[in-house]
Amino acid sequence: MALDLTFVATKIQLVWREKPETVCCSLSQMAAELKMSRRTLQRKLKEENTCYLSLQDSARLDLTICFLAAGKSVEEISDALGFADRRCFTRAFKRWTGNSPRAYIKQL
């Protein structure tokens, strides 16, 4: 049973690797992508002691780091990852890393 649960989180991560633009999709959209109900996806992730938002944040951080290394602007990254605006993205980035995107870029 644990293999099946791990498979769901891994499957989500594989979808995001193959289609990075889907990293900003909702839980319902991801459930449809995986051909299961929203509730089934929530239940399987809960049994795995994780949630969709934490997986999504992790994927967004990974993509953000790649985008920053490639020289993309904060506005471009914010749009690509589905944030409402640059400020929302900056707050999320600070929550993930403890630094602003600008401070992180300086460290690169």
Say how many Å lie between the first and final Cα of the chain, rounded.
Answer: 42
Record the pTM. Answer: 0.84
Q: What is the mean pLDDT of the chain?
A: 91
Q: How confident is the model at residue 6 (pLDDT cuts 50, 70, 90)?
A: low
CATH classification code of 2-107? 1.10.10.60
Locate tokens 């992508």: which residue?
33
Q: In a 3-state reduction of DSSP, which class is residue 100?
A: coil
- The pLDDT assigned to 4 comes to 47
Instruction: Give the domain ranges of the chain.
Output: 2-107
- The pLDDT assigned to 15 comes to 94
Quick one: average pLDDT of 24-37? 96
d(C-alpha 108, C-alpha 96), whole Å: 17
34-85 pLDDT, tens digit per residue, is 999 999 999 999 999 999 999 999 999 999 999 999 999 999 999 999 999 9
- Could you please report the per-residue DSSP string of 54-87? HHHHHHHHHHHHHHHHTT--HHHHHHHTT-SSHH
